[in-house]
Structures are given as structure tokens and as C-alpha cells.
Amino acid sequence: MAMKILMMADHASVAAQVRTAVEGWDASTVFQVSTPQRAIALLDEGESYDVVVADNDTHPTGGLALAREVKARGQMGKDMPPVVLLIARAQDKWLANWSQADAYVQKPADPFDLRETLQAVVAGDPIPALPGVGGEPKPSLLDPAPERELAVQTGAVGRSDEGPADELPEGATGDAAAVAAGTNPSTGL
């Protein structure tokens, strides 16, 4: 599978890990930049890539900031590639998910695991269950589905004075059902 990869890394060893993972792919190219700002500039200029691979430990702001920026632009309607973060510590998994990266791979990246992860992300397949690999991006408040889910969970469904009350998903109970029925969940009135 030939890929056009935008790699953001300022350490030669990290760049070598990515290049080793994609060696041998027919016509695959890796374009390397050293800062998140340069990567965003290329994407904003309309450069097209299949995937962005970002080292979380790149200075000054790192891969987390790049992932958030790429995802924010995607939510604003721009066509953006998926993002795979390279993280140094297992504790950074939750930050990788918070940044909305599509996947993360713990460094030093095993070339076979990184390759399999890149292939899955680009194809839109589930992230492979491999050691040090994962990805459960946290939804943004700009995403309509999480807002709806949050409204149901907090009981905000049906509170609008504009139009009829929202319908609850089948099986909704508790505060959300009470609010939709027009009662105050804390007082029952």
C-alpha cells in the first residue's frame, strides 16, 4: 500500500523508526518537518497526505498540539488526514486520546506494529491490538453525537423553548426521562 506520510519529528532516531516501518512500500513517501507549526502550514496550503505521524516529544509544542489542530480543522470542514502519535510513556495514552489522535504507538516503535497501525488508520479499520498501540480518541464538543449524548446524560434533552421537545433514545431512564416529561428530576414536580 503506497502512502504519502507527513512526519513531524525533530529527533533523527524517531524519524528513522518511521522510515524503517515504511521501507519497502511501493512508492511510499515520507515528508519530514521539525515543528507542528510547519506541518499545519503545509496542510493549510492544501498539501495532501494519507496520514500524519507526529512525535509527541517534538519541541516547542509537540504532537498533542498538532493532533488537536488537525482535528479542529477537520471539524471546521477541511479535509484532514488521520493522525498517529508516537508517545514515549505509557502514561501519555490518555493525552493521546484527549488530543483526538486516531491512534498512538509507544516509542521505540516496532516497525511492524507501526506499519500495521498506519495501514489500519489509513484504511479506516480498527486499531490493531498490539503491545504499546492503541487509540480511543475523545469526542470533541464540536461533534454533534457527543453533544446529544451529553444532553441525554445531563437531562438537557427537551429543554428548548423553540419547538417540540426532543425525543429520547429508546430505553432512556432517570433524569433525562423526567426532564423530557416536563418534571424536575430533583423535586419530581
For 133-189, give the DSSP string. Answer: EE--PPPPTTSHHHHHHHHHHHT-TT--SSSSPPPPPTT--THHHHHHTT--TTT--
Buried/exposed 12-35: b ≥16 CB within 10 Å, e otherwise: eebbebbeebbeebeebebebbbb
- Residue 46 to residue 40: CA distance in whole angstroms: 10
Residue among 89, 79, 109 at smallest CA distance from 9: 109
- Residue 6 to residue 9: CA distance in whole angstroms: 10
Cell numbers at 114, concatenated: 507501526
Residue 14 above 70 pLDDT? yes
Give start-end residues of each CATH 3.40.50.2300 domain in the chain.
4-134
Segment 37-86, tens digit of pLDDT: 999 999 999 889 999 999 888 877 888 899 999 999 988 888 999 999 99
Residue 51, number of CB atoms within 10 A of its CB? 20
AA identity, residue 7: M
pTM over 0.75: no
Segment 121-146, tens digit of pLDDT: 998 888 777 656 766 666 655 555 55
Output the average pLDDT for the chain.
78
- Residue 134 to residue 94: CA distance in whole angstroms: 10
Superfamily of domain 4-134 in the CATH hierarchy: Response regulator (3.40.50.2300)
Whether 28 and 2 have beta carbons less than 8 Å apart is answered as: yes
Cα dihedral 139, 113, 92, 84 sign: negative
